[in-house]
Amino acid sequence: MVNSGAKVMKRERRVRRLVDGDTIWFWSVRQKLDRGRYENCLLTLSLRREGSRSRLSIVFRPGPDRVISNTYFEAGTVVAGPERNWLNLYEPNAVRGLLRIAAARGDLPTEPGTREVDGWYLFEALVAAQNAGP
């Protein structure tokens, strides 16, 4: 049986809950498609700490050696570099990893509103940390 697109989209757009230490985060993934121009598409991971009016938006845009899912492969996936490292933004461990890198680099918002961060910057730091090992 094939899932209807409406049900799949509804499930993908829901707000999820992530517990990291003593902090509860709410997160979602959104995709903006431009069917005519792939370079105008983007994939955004948004995180908001419970009780906060601040939002961290981690934005991925396609570019040289940087690919975002655009209905060609698994939704929420980003792929980078000649090694083809990839993350799926619907996976809680991927979200937790990006969140921790953002926190370590001082990228978490401290005032109400939205703070936008280049996702590839965090992606590369996460891959480097994973390759460095424990």
pLDDT at residue 75, as a whole number: 83
Domain range enclosing 49: 5-132
pLDDT of residue 130: 83
| Per-position pLDDT tens, the chain of length 134 | 333 333 344 455 689 999 999 999 999 998 776 666 766 678 999 999 999 999 999 999 988 888 888 666 788 888 887 888 899 999 999 999 999 999 999 999 999 999 999 999 999 999 888 888 76
| CA distance to 2, 23, 49, 125, 130, per residue, from 77 (Å) | 21, 25, 23, 17, 18
CA quadruple 36, 40, 45, 48: dihedral, nearest 10 = -120
pLDDT score for 104: 96
Look at residue 3 in the predicted model and tell me its pLDDT.
Answer: 32
pTM, to two decimals = 0.83
Question: How many structural domains is the chain composed of?
Answer: 1
Sequence-separated (6 or more) residues with CB below 8 Å from residue 128: none
